[in-house]
Amino acid sequence: MEKIGCAYCGSERPKEEMIRGEITFRDRNPITGKIFINKKTNWYCKDKGCAGYDQMAYEG
Ligand SMILES: [Zn+2]
């Protein structure tokens, strides 16, 4: 069975117990040094709210 690691807590769980979450965060352009809003999509635990916690971690 395929297992996926949670981007927040690191648990490895079957795909059915995981959910995709889109995180927005501040990033810096390596060339211009300007701050911009970036997005990425990670896998998180469906039942633990890890996507929300990870978003909060990025917001500081
Ligand atoms: Zn998790």
Domain boundaries, the chain: 3-59
At 13, list the tokens: 């769980």
Q: How many CB atoms lie within 10 A of CB 22?
A: 10
Q: Ligand 1 centroid to 45 CA: how many Å?
A: 4
46 touches 19 (CB < 8 A): yes
- Tens-digit pLDDT profile for residues 19-50: 999 999 999 999 999 999 999 999 999 999 99
Cα Rg, the chain, nearest whole Å: 14
- Tens-digit pLDDT profile for residues 2-27: 899 999 999 999 999 999 999 999 99
Q: Ligand 1 centroid to 34 CA: how many Å?
A: 31
Q: Ligand 1 centroid to 28 CA: how many Å?
A: 26
User: What pLDDT was estimated at residue 59?
Assistant: 80
